[in-house]
Structure 1
Amino acid sequence: MKITKKTKFSEALMRDPDVAEVFMKNGMYCLGCPMAGEETIEQGCEAHGIDADKVVDEINKKLEKKAEK
């Protein structure tokens, strides 16, 4: 399953908790907030003025790299 902008934060984190590093690196420190559970990556990025495509690309690269191991 590839992560998309429509993926909820909670779904991405359930897939692999290490994706939290990507969110944090991009200035999204509110992963524990109540909205994060139902919010899509796109919605969160828009709220924080962050490029959702960049974040999703970083997440998928991280997941692909882990899968290669």
Structure 2
Amino acid sequence: MISKEMTISEILRRYPETLPVFERHRLDCYDCQLADIEQLEHGATVHKIDIESLLRELNGSIKI
């Protein structure tokens, strides 16, 4: 399960199937050098994306 405290690169390493969700929201943080240290919540805030909606969409996209 993805949480807002996880880093963006951690999410993509564990769940590569989430990449389209990041792209759909124009969250290109995965391509940034900060992806290894930036938490999902911070990236969403900077890009003015509702964190709860993003978490639902990311968690809905992962294969369990």
**Per-residue deviation at 1:26?**
0.9
Separation (CA, whole Å) in 2 of partners of 1:37 and 1:21? 19
1:56 matched residue in structure 2: 55
Higher relative contact order (CA 8 A, sep 6+): 2
* Gap regions ≥5 residues in structure 2: none
* Gap regions ≥5 residues in structure 1: none
* Count of residues in correspondence between the two structures: 64
> What per-residue deviation string (whole Å, max 9, x for no partner) do you get for residues 12-65 of structure 1?
0011212111111112123111011210110000111111111111111111xx
Q: Percent identity?
A: 33
- Which is higher, the Rg of structure 1 or of structure 2? 1
- Where does structure 1 differ by over 6 angstroms across 4 or more consecutive aligned residues? none
Q: Is residue 6 of structure 2 the alignment partner of residue 4 of structure 1? A: no
Q: CA RMSD in A?
A: 1.1
